[in-house]
Amino acid sequence: MFFLHSLKSATSLKDVADLLGFKASALAYILYKKDGASKYKSFEIPKKHGGIRKILAPSDELKLMQRRLSDLLLDYNSEIKAHDGLKNQISHGFEPDKSIVTNAECHRNRRYVFNADIKDFFGTINFGRVRGFFLKDKNFELHETVATILAQIVCHDNSLPQGSPCSPVISNLIGHVLDVHFVKLAARSGCYYTRYADDLTFSTNLKTFPKAIATNVDGENHSWIPGKELARLIKHCGFELNPQKTRMQYRDSRQEVTGLVVNRKVNIRNEYRHHVRAMVHRLFSTGNFDFEQTVVDEKGNSTKTKTPGTLSQLHGMLGFIHGIDVYNKDRLHTPHYDHQHSKLPRSKETIYRRFLLFKEFYAASAPVIICEGKTDNVYLVHAIRRLASDFPKLAAIEKDGAIKLMTRIFRYSDTSTGKILGITGGGPCLKNFINLYRAEIKQFTAPGRFHPVILLVDNDSGANEIYSTLKQIVKPPPSRNDPFVHVFGNLYVVPTPLLPGGGQSMIEDFFDSGIKSSVVSGKTFHPDSDADTETHYGKVIFAHKVIRTNADTIDFSGFKEILANLTAVIDEHAKRFPS
């Protein structure tokens, strides 16, 4: 309980400043001297289902302070739960390892699902409530001065501002009081309860939904209002429900929780899938698509709007769908799960993978380099940076001396994009990528191939499968002596130059012998994965503890021929596909 003990021991502004990593004078200036209007920047965004949401973005220094406080409070809350042996199964918003998916999962396959929404959740939590919580909550009971300072940090205009890093964790701490009452109510009534931020959900398999939680309006078959006990508890905890967002959902119709369908498995609405698929198809065909959205105003009137869509928007939507599909695929291995309705069609993965090929390579905004080895990225980045003045098409030197890479060195290790595309490193992997990209590029009729995609490979036996594939595609068959090979479209292969006498090479050969003889923890470098680990270290340590650490002093002149060949590809591609 170290963190919580430190907070409870604090008695002054200086103590709080120390906990947040600020000087006391800086904290005092931000809270008490800085003009209130300069602390936040206000702007508005449309709500998903109509109306306007006011966002208050804190200034940089205040945001840093709030971010640190948020991190500390999350740590304190974790300590409290660990100490009490509690597992959070109730609140799913802004919580570690929780999401709209985990929230929806709790209400899957139920007879009734009742949704309610807290009106103006953040706005209802004012300065007095925050200060009072830190003073009186049994897990905190902070010094009066400290409770006041924390409330001043997190509140603005007597409420929690939407846009502050602190507002989510504070709302959950105070909302937990509400959760305790509702969990008890749900347990007495035979229901299950969860909360995601201001979204409350009760569900049950009882034949009749408990009247204490929700009641059917007389004469209205599908009109429901909060039950008397639920309404009493909401009022008792200082909140109010939004009557326009109260609804009952039945098993024989579509049931949704936090935007996800929960009838049999947690899923995405079919309309959303079809909508996204249509945007993807238009992107592949024309290079553009419209982002369509139905906006409902405060009077309930709905209108459809269209704005030019972006690749980032579509990537996010496809990533969201893919995440839900993977979640369901993983659940196949869970006992008592509905296997019949949880198969992941191959077409779903294909669409996302095809989009990634389009976005990352076909429509790339700069030359892309994919290295064969996972550590090669480290070597290449630092070689380009050190030799930037000699290779202006690979890097630009800004007026202030900063170096900006003009190419994108594709990072695939430990990334979801790398996993979906099957790019994990090694010659066989890149051979598969060549075949995959060759097949999928035929699906694209939109403008593209603006920049080259370059596979940088070791010129050794590991590239045998790559060159076997190239011989089937490229005529006449390429030679290992060629500085680069144009495969098709915007795809090229650049092998490391052969060593003097025609010997095979790997990228590590182009460092001088001095740096390769560096001793780390009493061990010497050996590039082979099966080397004796008692006396040698491998490529990962060499890349990160030798090359990255000493990049400013290493002689990268041995990489000049590789960089020259990369530049030659950029020039060749400009000739093939003039802009």
Helix (H, G, I), strand (E, B) or coil at 199: strand
Distance CA(302)–CA(382), nearest Å, equals: 54
Is 478 in the same domain as 567?
yes
The two tokens of residue 129 are 């409530």
Instruction: Please report, as a single letter, which amino acid is at residue 267.
Output: N
Query: What CATH number did the domain enclosing 107 receive?
Result: 3.30.70.270
The two tokens of residue 30 are 């931000």
User: Does 346 map to a domain?
Assistant: no
Over the stretch 340-364, which tens digit does the pLDDT of each residue have? 444 444 567 799 999 999 999 999 9
Query: What average pLDDT does the segment 270-283 reach?
Result: 95
Task: Please determine, for residue 338, whether its predicted confidence score (pLDDT) is greater than 60.
Answer: no
Mean pLDDT across the chain, nearest whole number? 91
Confidence of residue 535 (pLDDT cuts 50, 70, 90): very high
User: Does 314 map to a domain?
Assistant: yes
- What is the DSSP pairing of strand 199-204 with strand 192-196? antiparallel
User: Does 389 map to a domain?
Assistant: yes
Which residue, 233, 267, 301, sits at the end of a domain? 267
Q: Which of 281, 282, 36, 321 is nearest to 152 (CA)?
A: 36
Is 32 in the same domain as 93?
no
Confidence of residue 372 (pLDDT cuts 50, 70, 90): very high
Over the stretch 151-201, which tens digit does the pLDDT of each residue have? 999 999 999 999 999 999 999 999 999 999 999 999 999 999 999 999 999
Confidence of residue 336 (pLDDT cuts 50, 70, 90): very low
Query: What CATH number did the domain enclosing 555 receive?
Result: 3.40.50
Give residue 447's pLDDT: 96
Give residue 86's pLDDT: 57
Is 64 in the same domain as 177?
no
Is 261 in the same domain as 305?
no
Task: Please determine, for residue 402, whether its predicted confidence score (pLDDT) is greater than 90.
Answer: yes
Over the stretch 277-305, which tens digit does the pLDDT of each residue have? 999 999 999 999 998 776 666 666 677 78
| Helix H or strand E encompassing 334 | none
Confidence of residue 5 (pLDDT cuts 50, 70, 90): confident
Domain total in the chain: 4
Is 568 in the same domain as 460?
yes
268-272, 336-340, 562-566: which is most confident: 562-566
Q: Which of 215, 219, 245 is nearest to 230 (CA)?
A: 215
Is 114 in the same domain as 209?
yes
Over the stretch 10-68, which tens digit does the pLDDT of each residue have? 999 999 999 999 999 999 999 999 887 889 999 887 766 556 778 999 999 999 999 99
Give residue 85's pLDDT: 61
Is 60 in the same domain as 153?
yes
Distance CA(122)–CA(104), nearest Å, equals: 22
Is 181 in the same domain as 248?
yes
Locate all alpha helices (DSSP H) within 341-463, ordered by sequence: 346-357, 376-386, 416-421, 427-440
Give residue 349's pLDDT: 79
User: Does 306 map to a domain?
Assistant: yes
- What is the DSSP pairing of strand 524-525 with strand 491-495? unpaired
Locate all alpha helices (DSSP H) within 29-140, ordered by sequence: 36-39, 60-84, 100-105, 121-124, 127-136
Query: What average pLDDT does the segment 71-86 reach?
Result: 77
Range of the domain at 194: 88-125+165-267
Is 487 in the same domain as 426?
yes
| 41 contacts 56 by C-beta, under 8 angstroms | yes
Give residue 236's pLDDT: 95
The two tokens of residue 387 are 């030799």
Task: Please determine, for residue 527, whether its predicted confidence score (pLDDT) is greater than 60.
Answer: yes
User: Does 338 map to a domain?
Assistant: no
Distance CA(148)–CA(128), nearest Å, equals: 9
Is 201 in the same domain as 293?
no
The pTM assigned to this predicted structure is 0.84
Give residue 339's pLDDT: 40
Q: What are the percentages of helix, strand and coil residues in the chain, rounded to 5? A: 45, 15, 35
Give residue 485's pLDDT: 98
Is 45 or 271 the better-scoring residue by pLDDT? Answer: 271
The two tokens of residue 452 are 């080259």
The two tokens of residue 165 are 């890093």
Query: What average pLDDT does the segment 239-258 reach?
Result: 94
Give residue 383's pLDDT: 97
Over the stretch 550-579, which tens digit does the pLDDT of each residue have? 999 999 999 999 999 999 999 999 999 987
**Out of 119-133, 268-282, 341-355, 515-529, least confident range:** 341-355
Give residue 461's pLDDT: 94
Is 365 in the same domain as 302?
no
Q: Which residues, other chains included, contact 350 with Cβ-Cβ below 8 Å and sequence gap of 6+?
A: none
Is 257 in the same domain as 300?
no
User: Does 402 map to a domain?
Assistant: yes
DSSP string, 239-283: --B-GGG-EEEETTS--EETTEE-SSS-B--HHHHHHHHHHHHHH
User: Does 112 map to a domain?
Assistant: yes
User: Does 337 map to a domain?
Assistant: no
Distance CA(456)–CA(568), nearest Å, equals: 13
